[in-house]
Protein backbone atom coordinates (compact mmCIF):
# COMPACT_ATOMS: atom_id res chain seq x y z
CA UNK A 1 0.00 0.00 0.00
CA UNK A 2 1.29 3.46 -0.83
CA UNK A 3 -0.59 5.01 2.04
CA UNK A 4 -1.52 3.79 5.50
CA UNK A 5 -4.91 5.52 5.41
CA UNK A 6 -7.14 2.85 7.01
CA UNK A 7 -10.13 3.61 4.79
CA UNK A 8 -8.05 3.07 1.65
CA UNK A 9 -7.00 -0.28 3.14
CA UNK A 10 -10.65 -1.19 3.85
CA UNK A 11 -11.59 -0.24 0.29
CA UNK A 12 -8.64 -2.20 -1.20
CA UNK A 13 -9.66 -5.30 0.79
CA UNK A 14 -13.26 -4.88 -0.34
CA UNK A 15 -12.15 -4.51 -3.99
CA UNK A 16 -10.28 -7.82 -3.73
CA UNK A 17 -13.42 -9.54 -2.38
CA UNK A 18 -15.59 -7.82 -5.01
CA UNK A 19 -13.25 -9.08 -7.77
CA UNK A 20 -13.46 -12.64 -6.46
CA UNK A 21 -17.26 -12.37 -6.33
CA UNK A 22 -17.43 -10.67 -9.72
CA UNK A 23 -19.66 -7.91 -8.34
CA UNK A 24 -21.14 -5.53 -10.91
CA UNK A 25 -19.94 -1.91 -10.86
CA UNK A 26 -23.11 -0.39 -9.36
CA UNK A 27 -23.01 -2.79 -6.39
CA UNK A 28 -19.33 -1.99 -5.78
CA UNK A 29 -20.09 1.72 -5.90
CA UNK A 30 -22.77 1.20 -3.24
CA UNK A 31 -20.51 -0.75 -0.85
CA UNK A 32 -17.18 1.09 -1.29
CA UNK A 33 -18.55 4.08 0.64
CA UNK A 34 -20.67 4.47 3.79
CA UNK A 35 -24.38 5.15 3.27
CA UNK A 36 -24.46 7.99 5.81
CA UNK A 37 -21.99 10.12 7.77
CA UNK A 38 -22.55 12.56 10.59
CA UNK A 39 -19.97 15.21 11.51
CA UNK A 40 -20.91 17.37 14.46
CA UNK A 41 -19.53 19.71 17.11
CA UNK A 42 -20.20 18.93 20.78
CA UNK A 43 -20.15 21.85 23.25
CA UNK A 44 -19.07 20.75 26.73
CA UNK A 45 -18.98 22.90 29.90
CA UNK A 46 -15.60 22.18 31.50
CA UNK A 47 -15.01 22.09 35.26
CA UNK A 48 -13.37 25.52 35.17
CA UNK A 49 -16.53 27.07 33.68
CA UNK A 50 -15.22 27.44 30.08
CA UNK A 51 -17.10 26.01 27.12
CA UNK A 52 -15.01 23.66 24.96
CA UNK A 53 -15.98 22.34 21.51
CA UNK A 54 -15.26 18.72 20.54
CA UNK A 55 -15.43 17.13 17.09
CA UNK A 56 -17.75 14.11 16.89
CA UNK A 57 -18.47 11.56 14.15
CA UNK A 58 -20.83 8.70 13.39
CA UNK A 59 -20.56 6.68 10.20
CA UNK A 60 -23.31 4.25 9.12
CA UNK A 61 -21.71 2.09 6.44
CA UNK A 62 -24.52 -0.28 5.50
CA UNK A 63 -27.75 -1.41 7.18
CA UNK A 64 -29.15 -3.85 4.63
CA UNK A 65 -29.02 -6.73 7.16
CA UNK A 66 -30.22 -4.77 10.19
CA UNK A 67 -29.49 -1.71 12.36
CA UNK A 68 -25.96 -0.32 12.17
CA UNK A 69 -23.69 -1.56 14.95
CA UNK A 70 -20.28 -0.47 16.17
CA UNK A 71 -18.32 1.25 18.88
CA UNK A 72 -17.61 4.88 19.71
CA UNK A 73 -13.90 5.64 20.00
CA UNK A 74 -12.51 8.52 22.08
CA UNK A 75 -9.01 9.14 20.73
CA UNK A 76 -6.87 12.27 20.18
CA UNK A 77 -5.91 11.11 16.65
CA UNK A 78 -9.40 10.12 15.56
CA UNK A 79 -10.13 10.94 11.91
CA UNK A 80 -13.15 10.49 9.69
CA UNK A 81 -11.20 7.98 7.59
CA UNK A 82 -10.48 5.79 10.63
CA UNK A 83 -14.18 5.85 11.50
CA UNK A 84 -15.15 5.05 7.88
CA UNK A 85 -12.77 2.08 7.80
CA UNK A 86 -13.96 0.71 11.13
CA UNK A 87 -17.63 1.13 10.10
CA UNK A 88 -16.95 -0.79 6.86
CA UNK A 89 -15.22 -3.62 8.74
CA UNK A 90 -18.20 -3.80 11.13
CA UNK A 91 -20.53 -4.48 8.19
CA UNK A 92 -18.40 -7.50 7.21
CA UNK A 93 -17.89 -8.63 10.82
CA UNK A 94 -21.64 -8.71 11.56
CA UNK A 95 -22.36 -10.42 8.23
CA UNK A 96 -19.75 -13.15 8.72
CA UNK A 97 -21.02 -13.79 12.27
CA UNK A 98 -24.49 -13.95 10.70
CA UNK A 99 -26.09 -11.56 13.18
CA UNK A 100 -28.86 -9.31 11.85
CA UNK A 101 -26.92 -6.04 12.08
CA UNK A 102 -25.12 -3.65 9.76
CA UNK A 103 -21.90 -1.69 10.19
CA UNK A 104 -21.37 1.56 12.04
CA UNK A 105 -18.70 3.35 14.03
CA UNK A 106 -18.38 6.61 15.92
CA UNK A 107 -15.77 8.78 17.47
CA UNK A 108 -14.72 11.93 19.25
CA UNK A 109 -11.35 13.64 18.85
CA UNK A 110 -10.30 13.68 22.51
CA UNK A 111 -7.87 12.13 24.95
CA UNK A 112 -10.32 10.79 27.56
CA UNK A 113 -7.55 10.63 30.18
CA UNK A 114 -7.38 14.46 30.07
CA UNK A 115 -11.00 14.82 31.23
CA UNK A 116 -12.49 14.70 34.74
CA UNK A 117 -15.30 12.22 35.42
CA UNK A 118 -17.89 15.01 35.17
CA UNK A 119 -16.44 16.28 31.88
CA UNK A 120 -16.52 12.75 30.45
CA UNK A 121 -20.16 12.37 31.44
CA UNK A 122 -21.09 15.72 29.85
CA UNK A 123 -19.20 14.80 26.65
CA UNK A 124 -21.04 11.45 26.45
CA UNK A 125 -24.39 13.15 26.97
CA UNK A 126 -23.42 15.80 24.38
CA UNK A 127 -22.61 13.08 21.81
CA UNK A 128 -26.09 11.62 22.30
CA UNK A 129 -27.64 15.11 22.20
CA UNK A 130 -26.19 15.54 18.71
CA UNK A 131 -27.04 12.05 17.40
CA UNK A 132 -30.16 10.76 19.16
CA UNK A 133 -32.51 11.34 16.22
CA UNK A 134 -30.31 9.10 14.05
CA UNK A 135 -29.55 6.21 16.42
CA UNK A 136 -31.72 3.76 18.38
CA UNK A 137 -32.43 0.03 18.80
CA UNK A 138 -33.93 -0.22 15.28
CA UNK A 139 -31.57 2.27 13.62
CA UNK A 140 -28.02 2.25 14.93
CA UNK A 141 -26.70 0.78 18.19
CA UNK A 142 -23.32 2.10 19.43
CA UNK A 143 -21.02 0.32 21.91
CA UNK A 144 -17.68 0.98 23.66
CA UNK A 145 -14.39 0.98 21.77
CA UNK A 146 -10.89 2.36 22.43
CA UNK A 147 -11.16 5.08 25.10
CA UNK A 148 -14.80 4.44 26.02
CA UNK A 149 -16.12 2.26 28.84
CA UNK A 150 -19.28 0.48 30.09
CA UNK A 151 -19.90 3.44 32.46
CA UNK A 152 -19.91 5.81 29.48
CA UNK A 153 -22.45 3.55 27.71
CA UNK A 154 -24.68 3.75 30.82
CA UNK A 155 -24.58 7.59 30.66
CA UNK A 156 -25.29 7.52 26.92
CA UNK A 157 -28.19 5.08 27.33
CA UNK A 158 -29.57 7.26 30.12
CA UNK A 159 -29.37 10.41 27.99
CA UNK A 160 -31.03 8.66 25.05
CA UNK A 161 -33.82 7.35 27.32
CA UNK A 162 -34.32 10.88 28.74
CA UNK A 163 -34.55 12.45 25.28
CA UNK A 164 -36.99 9.89 23.84
CA UNK A 165 -39.02 9.85 27.06
CA UNK A 166 -38.79 6.14 27.80
CA UNK A 167 -36.26 3.65 29.18
CA UNK A 168 -34.50 2.27 26.09
CA UNK A 169 -31.61 0.05 27.17
CA UNK A 170 -31.20 -1.49 23.69
CA UNK A 171 -29.98 1.84 22.24
CA UNK A 172 -26.41 1.09 23.45
CA UNK A 173 -24.58 -2.13 24.24
CA UNK A 174 -21.53 -2.83 26.37
CA UNK A 175 -23.38 -1.39 29.36
CA UNK A 176 -22.41 -2.49 32.88
CA UNK A 177 -24.17 -5.56 34.28
CA UNK A 178 -26.97 -4.14 36.45
CA UNK A 179 -27.63 -1.27 33.99
CA UNK A 180 -28.83 -3.47 31.11
CA UNK A 181 -25.46 -5.09 30.30
CA UNK A 182 -25.00 -8.79 29.52
CA UNK A 183 -23.18 -11.38 31.55
CA UNK A 184 -20.33 -12.98 29.60
CA UNK A 185 -19.38 -9.83 27.66
CA UNK A 186 -15.96 -9.55 29.37
CA UNK A 187 -14.88 -13.04 28.33
CA UNK A 188 -16.69 -13.18 24.98
CA UNK A 189 -14.05 -11.90 22.54
CA UNK A 190 -11.15 -13.92 23.96
CA UNK A 191 -13.22 -17.09 24.33
CA UNK A 192 -14.54 -16.58 20.78
CA UNK A 193 -10.94 -16.47 19.53
CA UNK A 194 -10.36 -19.83 21.23
CA UNK A 195 -13.54 -21.32 19.71
CA UNK A 196 -12.23 -20.50 16.22
CA UNK A 197 -8.81 -21.97 17.10
CA UNK A 198 -10.54 -25.16 18.31
CA UNK A 199 -12.41 -25.44 14.98
CA UNK A 200 -9.18 -24.83 13.03
CA UNK A 201 -7.46 -27.57 15.05
CA UNK A 202 -10.25 -30.02 14.22
CA UNK A 203 -9.80 -29.21 10.53
CA UNK A 204 -6.00 -29.52 10.69
CA UNK A 205 -6.15 -32.56 12.99
CA UNK A 206 -4.09 -30.98 15.74
CA UNK A 207 -4.52 -32.27 19.28
CA UNK A 208 -5.33 -29.15 21.38
CA UNK A 209 -4.07 -30.85 24.56
CA UNK A 210 -0.59 -31.09 23.12
CA UNK A 211 -0.58 -27.60 21.66
CA UNK A 212 1.33 -24.52 22.69
CA UNK A 213 0.39 -20.87 21.97
CA UNK A 214 2.22 -17.53 22.07
CA UNK A 215 0.13 -14.41 22.59
CA UNK A 216 0.82 -10.74 22.04
CA UNK A 217 -0.96 -8.43 24.51
CA UNK A 218 -2.55 -8.96 27.90
CA UNK A 219 -5.65 -6.76 27.73
CA UNK A 220 -9.25 -7.88 27.56
CA UNK A 221 -8.91 -10.07 24.46
CA UNK A 222 -5.54 -11.68 25.24
CA UNK A 223 -6.39 -12.39 28.92
CA UNK A 224 -9.47 -14.44 28.03
CA UNK A 225 -7.85 -15.99 24.96
CA UNK A 226 -5.02 -17.20 27.26
CA UNK A 227 -7.48 -18.44 29.90
CA UNK A 228 -9.62 -20.14 27.24
CA UNK A 229 -6.63 -21.75 25.55
CA UNK A 230 -5.86 -23.56 28.79
CA UNK A 231 -9.35 -24.08 30.25
CA UNK A 232 -11.41 -24.71 27.09
CA UNK A 233 -8.80 -26.42 24.89
CA UNK A 234 -6.53 -27.95 27.51
CA UNK A 235 -3.46 -26.45 25.79
CA UNK A 236 -0.51 -24.53 27.21
CA UNK A 237 0.35 -20.83 26.81
CA UNK A 238 4.07 -20.18 26.32
CA UNK A 239 3.94 -16.40 26.67
CA UNK A 240 1.89 -13.20 26.73
CA UNK A 241 3.15 -9.65 26.33
CA UNK A 242 2.29 -6.10 27.28
CA UNK A 243 3.27 -2.48 26.81
CA UNK A 244 4.69 -0.50 29.71
CA UNK A 245 3.63 3.14 29.32
CA UNK A 246 6.15 4.42 31.89
CA UNK A 247 9.12 2.74 30.20
CA UNK A 248 7.59 3.23 26.72
CA UNK A 249 8.48 -0.31 25.65
CA UNK A 250 6.92 -3.73 25.59
CA UNK A 251 7.88 -7.02 27.27
CA UNK A 252 7.17 -10.70 26.66
CA UNK A 253 6.40 -12.75 29.80
CA UNK A 254 6.97 -16.51 29.74
CA UNK A 255 7.10 -19.30 32.30
CA UNK A 256 8.85 -22.68 31.99
CA UNK A 257 5.64 -24.48 33.03
CA UNK A 258 3.38 -22.30 30.90
CA UNK A 259 1.72 -19.00 31.69
CA UNK A 260 -1.01 -18.95 34.37
CA UNK A 261 -3.23 -16.21 32.95
CA UNK A 262 -5.58 -16.21 35.94
CA UNK A 263 -2.62 -15.50 38.23
CA UNK A 264 -1.22 -12.82 35.88
CA UNK A 265 -4.64 -11.11 35.88
CA UNK A 266 -4.24 -10.49 39.61
CA UNK A 267 -1.04 -8.49 38.96
CA UNK A 268 -2.24 -6.62 35.83
CA UNK A 269 -3.71 -3.10 35.80
CA UNK A 270 -6.80 -1.86 33.92
CA UNK A 271 -4.68 -1.00 30.85
CA UNK A 272 -3.33 -4.55 30.53
CA UNK A 273 0.13 -3.83 31.97
CA UNK A 274 1.60 -6.66 34.05
CA UNK A 275 3.58 -5.82 37.22
CA UNK A 276 7.13 -6.82 36.28
CA UNK A 277 8.51 -7.25 39.80
CA UNK A 278 5.64 -9.47 40.91
CA UNK A 279 5.88 -11.55 37.73
CA UNK A 280 9.65 -12.07 38.22
CA UNK A 281 9.06 -13.05 41.85
CA UNK A 282 6.61 -15.71 40.62
CA UNK A 283 9.25 -17.24 38.32
CA UNK A 284 8.36 -15.48 35.05
CA UNK A 285 11.05 -14.72 32.49
CA UNK A 286 10.98 -11.26 30.88
CA UNK A 287 12.18 -10.74 27.30
CA UNK A 288 11.85 -8.02 24.71
CA UNK A 289 8.30 -7.29 23.50
CA UNK A 290 9.06 -8.75 20.06
CA UNK A 291 10.07 -12.20 21.44
CA UNK A 292 6.52 -13.64 21.27
CA UNK A 293 6.59 -13.82 17.48
CA UNK A 294 9.61 -16.15 17.27
CA UNK A 295 8.47 -18.68 19.88
CA UNK A 296 8.45 -22.36 18.93
CA UNK A 297 4.69 -22.88 19.25
CA UNK A 298 1.73 -24.26 17.29
CA UNK A 299 -0.48 -21.17 17.51
CA UNK A 300 0.31 -17.45 17.38
CA UNK A 301 -2.36 -15.09 18.69
CA UNK A 302 -1.68 -11.39 18.04
CA UNK A 303 -4.18 -9.75 20.42
CA UNK A 304 -2.76 -6.29 21.09
CA UNK A 305 -2.58 -3.72 18.29
CA UNK A 306 -2.53 -3.41 14.51
CA UNK A 307 0.37 -4.03 12.09
CA UNK A 308 2.45 -6.46 14.17
CA UNK A 309 3.00 -9.15 11.54
CA UNK A 310 4.84 -7.28 8.82
CA UNK A 311 7.25 -8.03 5.96
CA UNK A 312 10.09 -7.51 8.50
CA UNK A 313 8.73 -9.51 11.44
CA UNK A 314 6.93 -12.43 9.77
CA UNK A 315 10.11 -14.24 8.58
CA UNK A 316 10.82 -14.78 12.32
CA UNK A 317 7.73 -17.00 12.68
CA UNK A 318 8.91 -20.47 13.76
CA UNK A 319 8.41 -23.44 11.42
CA UNK A 320 6.32 -25.22 14.07
CA UNK A 321 3.56 -22.56 13.79
CA UNK A 322 0.44 -23.96 12.09
CA UNK A 323 -2.26 -21.45 13.06
CA UNK A 324 -2.36 -17.65 13.40
CA UNK A 325 -5.52 -16.39 15.11
CA UNK A 326 -6.03 -12.63 14.71
CA UNK A 327 -7.51 -11.57 18.04
CA UNK A 328 -6.60 -7.93 17.32
CA UNK A 329 -8.03 -5.89 14.46
CA UNK A 330 -5.64 -5.53 11.53
CA UNK A 331 -2.49 -7.14 13.08
CA UNK A 332 -1.21 -8.36 9.67
CA UNK A 333 -0.07 -6.14 6.81
CA UNK A 334 -0.89 -7.04 3.19
CA UNK A 335 2.78 -8.02 2.59
CA UNK A 336 2.92 -10.29 5.66
CA UNK A 337 -0.39 -11.85 4.64
CA UNK A 338 1.25 -12.98 1.41
CA UNK A 339 4.29 -14.42 3.24
CA UNK A 340 2.01 -16.32 5.65
CA UNK A 341 -0.11 -17.63 2.77
CA UNK A 342 2.98 -18.88 0.93
CA UNK A 343 4.23 -20.67 4.03
CA UNK A 344 0.90 -22.47 4.27
CA UNK A 345 0.10 -21.26 7.79
CA UNK A 346 -3.64 -21.37 8.50
CA UNK A 347 -4.71 -17.78 9.34
CA UNK A 348 -8.04 -17.03 11.02
CA UNK A 349 -8.81 -13.45 9.90
CA UNK A 350 -9.65 -10.72 12.42
CA UNK A 351 -13.27 -10.04 11.58
CA UNK A 352 -14.05 -13.76 11.90
CA UNK A 353 -11.71 -14.48 14.83
CA UNK A 354 -12.67 -11.60 17.16
CA UNK A 355 -16.42 -11.55 16.37
CA UNK A 356 -17.35 -12.93 19.82
CA UNK A 357 -17.55 -9.38 21.21
CA UNK A 358 -20.07 -8.03 18.74
CA UNK A 359 -22.02 -11.28 18.94
CA UNK A 360 -22.44 -10.76 22.68
CA UNK A 361 -23.36 -7.11 22.04
CA UNK A 362 -26.11 -8.42 19.78
CA UNK A 363 -27.21 -10.84 22.53
CA UNK A 364 -27.26 -7.90 24.95
CA UNK A 365 -29.72 -5.99 22.74
CA UNK A 366 -31.82 -9.16 22.30
CA UNK A 367 -31.99 -9.51 26.11
CA UNK A 368 -32.90 -5.81 26.40
CA UNK A 369 -35.73 -6.31 23.88
CA UNK A 370 -36.98 -9.38 25.77
CA UNK A 371 -36.57 -7.61 29.10
CA UNK A 372 -35.10 -10.87 30.37
CA UNK A 373 -31.49 -11.70 31.20
CA UNK A 374 -29.70 -14.91 30.32
CA UNK A 375 -27.18 -16.68 32.54
CA UNK A 376 -23.45 -16.33 31.80
CA UNK A 377 -23.38 -19.98 30.67
CA UNK A 378 -26.26 -19.43 28.26
CA UNK A 379 -24.58 -16.37 26.72
CA UNK A 380 -21.22 -18.12 26.31
CA UNK A 381 -22.82 -21.28 24.92
CA UNK A 382 -24.59 -19.20 22.26
CA UNK A 383 -21.33 -17.34 21.44
CA UNK A 384 -19.64 -20.72 20.90
CA UNK A 385 -22.44 -21.83 18.54
CA UNK A 386 -22.28 -18.60 16.51
CA UNK A 387 -18.46 -18.59 16.29
CA UNK A 388 -18.33 -22.26 15.29
CA UNK A 389 -20.91 -21.88 12.54
CA UNK A 390 -19.27 -18.68 11.25
CA UNK A 391 -15.94 -20.53 11.12
CA UNK A 392 -17.48 -23.49 9.25
CA UNK A 393 -19.12 -21.22 6.65
CA UNK A 394 -15.79 -19.49 5.95
CA UNK A 395 -13.84 -22.77 5.91
CA UNK A 396 -16.29 -24.29 3.41
CA UNK A 397 -15.96 -21.25 1.17
CA UNK A 398 -12.16 -21.36 1.44
CA UNK A 399 -12.09 -25.04 0.40
CA UNK A 400 -14.68 -24.62 -2.34
CA UNK A 401 -13.05 -21.59 -3.96
CA UNK A 402 -9.46 -22.59 -3.03
CA UNK A 403 -8.79 -19.21 -1.43
CA UNK A 404 -7.31 -18.13 1.90
CA UNK A 405 -9.53 -17.85 5.00
CA UNK A 406 -9.31 -14.03 4.74
CA UNK A 407 -10.51 -13.99 1.15
CA UNK A 408 -13.17 -16.57 2.03
CA UNK A 409 -14.40 -14.42 4.95
CA UNK A 410 -14.79 -11.48 2.55
CA UNK A 411 -16.62 -13.71 0.06
CA UNK A 412 -19.08 -14.93 2.70
CA UNK A 413 -19.64 -11.50 4.27
CA UNK A 414 -19.92 -9.39 1.12
CA UNK A 415 -22.18 -11.97 -0.53
CA UNK A 416 -24.58 -11.95 2.45
CA UNK A 417 -24.79 -8.14 2.42
CA UNK A 418 -25.30 -8.02 -1.36
CA UNK A 419 -28.06 -10.67 -1.15
CA UNK A 420 -29.86 -8.65 1.54
CA UNK A 421 -29.59 -5.52 -0.64
CA UNK A 422 -30.95 -7.41 -3.63
CA UNK A 423 -33.86 -8.91 -1.67
CA UNK A 424 -34.75 -5.46 -0.35
CA UNK A 425 -34.67 -4.07 -3.89
CA UNK A 426 -31.72 -1.71 -3.30
CA UNK A 427 -29.53 -2.89 -6.17
P1 LIG B 1 -6.74 -3.57 25.70
O2 LIG B 1 -6.48 -2.12 25.64
O3 LIG B 1 -7.56 -4.14 26.81
O4 LIG B 1 -5.33 -4.36 25.71
C5 LIG B 1 -4.31 -4.13 24.81
C6 LIG B 1 -3.11 -4.93 25.29
O7 LIG B 1 -2.07 -4.85 24.31
C8 LIG B 1 -2.50 -4.43 26.60
O9 LIG B 1 -2.07 -5.52 27.39
C10 LIG B 1 -1.28 -3.65 26.13
O11 LIG B 1 -0.26 -3.56 27.11
C12 LIG B 1 -0.86 -4.50 24.96
N13 LIG B 1 0.02 -3.82 24.01
C14 LIG B 1 -0.14 -2.61 23.43
N15 LIG B 1 0.89 -2.35 22.61
C16 LIG B 1 1.71 -3.43 22.67
C17 LIG B 1 2.94 -3.78 22.07
N18 LIG B 1 3.53 -2.96 21.21
N19 LIG B 1 3.49 -4.97 22.36
C20 LIG B 1 2.89 -5.82 23.22
N21 LIG B 1 1.74 -5.55 23.84
C22 LIG B 1 1.16 -4.37 23.56
O23 LIG B 1 -7.38 -3.94 24.30
P24 LIG B 1 -8.32 -5.18 23.93
O25 LIG B 1 -9.73 -4.82 24.19
O26 LIG B 1 -7.74 -6.43 24.51
O27 LIG B 1 -8.14 -5.18 22.33
C28 LIG B 1 -7.00 -5.73 21.70
C29 LIG B 1 -7.25 -5.78 20.21
O30 LIG B 1 -8.43 -6.54 19.94
C31 LIG B 1 -7.50 -4.45 19.51
O32 LIG B 1 -7.00 -4.54 18.20
C33 LIG B 1 -9.01 -4.35 19.47
O34 LIG B 1 -9.47 -3.49 18.43
C35 LIG B 1 -9.37 -5.78 19.19
N36 LIG B 1 -10.75 -6.17 19.55
C37 LIG B 1 -11.17 -6.07 20.83
C38 LIG B 1 -12.47 -6.48 21.15
C39 LIG B 1 -12.98 -6.45 22.57
O40 LIG B 1 -14.08 -6.93 22.80
N41 LIG B 1 -12.20 -5.96 23.54
C42 LIG B 1 -13.33 -6.97 20.16
C43 LIG B 1 -12.86 -7.07 18.86
C44 LIG B 1 -11.56 -6.66 18.57
Q: Is 189 in the pocket of ligand 1 (CB under 6 A)?
A: yes
Spatial CB neighbours of 7, under 8 Å, sequence gap ≥ 6:
81, 82, 84, 85, 88
Rounded distance between C-alpha atoms, residue 71 and residue 74, angstroms:
10
Going from the C-alpha of 405 to that of each of 53, 402, 416, the distances in angstroms are 44, 9, 16
Model pTM score: 0.94
Which pLDDT tens digit goes with each residue over 10-46? 999 999 999 999 999 999 999 999 999 999 999 999 9
Rounded distance between C-alpha atoms, residue 75 and residue 41, angstroms:
15
Rounded distance between C-alpha atoms, residue 406 and residue 267, angstroms:
36
Position 1 scores a pLDDT of: 41
How much is the average pLDDT of 50-57?
98
Give the torsion sign (CA, 138, 139, 145, 149): negative
Atom index in ligand 1 nearest the CA of residue 357 equals 40
Cα-to-centroid distance, 217 and ligand 1 (Å)? 6
Burial class (CB in 10 A: 0-12, 13-18, 19+), 377: exposed
Containing 214, the helix (H) or strand (E) segment is strand 212-216
Q: State the average pLDDT for the chain.
A: 96
Range list of β-strands (E), 9-89: 36-45, 51-62, 68-75
If you take atom 29 of ligand 1, which residue's CA is the nearest one? 328
248 is catalytic: no
- Counting residues of the chain whose pLDDT is more than 90, the rounded percentage is 96
How much is the average pLDDT of 114-120?
97
Q: Is 241 in the pocket of ligand 1 (CB under 6 A)?
A: yes
The answer to whether residues 361 and 192 touch, using CB atoms and an 8 Å cutoff, is no
Rounded distance between C-alpha atoms, residue 306 and residue 300, angstroms:
15
Using a CB cutoff of 8 Å and minimum separation of 24, what contacts does 228-234 make? 228/187, 228/190, 228/191, 228/193, 228/194, 228/195, 229/194, 229/197, 229/299, 229/301, 230/258, 230/261, 232/191, 232/194, 232/195, 232/198, 233/194, 233/197, 233/198, 233/201, 233/208, 233/209, 234/208, 234/209
Cα-to-centroid distance, 148 and ligand 1 (Å)? 14
Q: Is 217 in the pocket of ligand 1 (CB under 6 A)?
A: yes
CA 128 to chain centre: 23
Which pLDDT tens digit goes with each residue over 58-97? 999 999 999 999 999 999 999 999 999 999 999 999 999 9
The per-residue b/e assignment along 222-238, b for 16 or more CB within 10 angstroms, e otherwise, is bbbbbbbbbebbebbbb
Which pLDDT tens digit goes with each residue over 205-262? 999 999 999 999 999 999 999 999 999 999 999 999 999 989 999 999 999 999 999 9
Pairing between strand 323-325 and 51-62?
Answer: unpaired
If you take atom 25 of ligand 1, which residue's CA is the nearest one? 220
Position 208 scores a pLDDT of: 98
Spatial CB neighbours of 335, under 8 Å, sequence gap ≥ 6:
310, 311
How much is the average pLDDT of 346-357?
97
Phi, psi of 112 (to 5 degrees): -60, -25
Which pLDDT tens digit goes with each residue over 285-324? 999 999 999 999 999 999 999 889 999 999 999 999 999 9
Containing 23, the helix (H) or strand (E) segment is none
Cα-to-centroid distance, 20 and ligand 1 (Å)? 31
Amino acid sequence: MESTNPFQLAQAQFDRGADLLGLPEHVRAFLRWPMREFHFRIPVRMDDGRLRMFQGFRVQHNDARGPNKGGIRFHPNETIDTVRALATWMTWKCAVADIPLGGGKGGVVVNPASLSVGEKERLCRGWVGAMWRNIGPRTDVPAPDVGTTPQMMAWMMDEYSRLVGQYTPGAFTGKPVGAGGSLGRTEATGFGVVHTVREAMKHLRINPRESLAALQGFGNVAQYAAIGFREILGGKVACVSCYDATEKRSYTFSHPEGVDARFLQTITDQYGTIDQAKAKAAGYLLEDGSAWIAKEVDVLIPAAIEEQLTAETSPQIDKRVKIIAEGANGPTTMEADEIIRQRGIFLIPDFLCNGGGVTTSYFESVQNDMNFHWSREEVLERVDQKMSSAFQAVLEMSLERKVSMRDAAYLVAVDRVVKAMQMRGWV
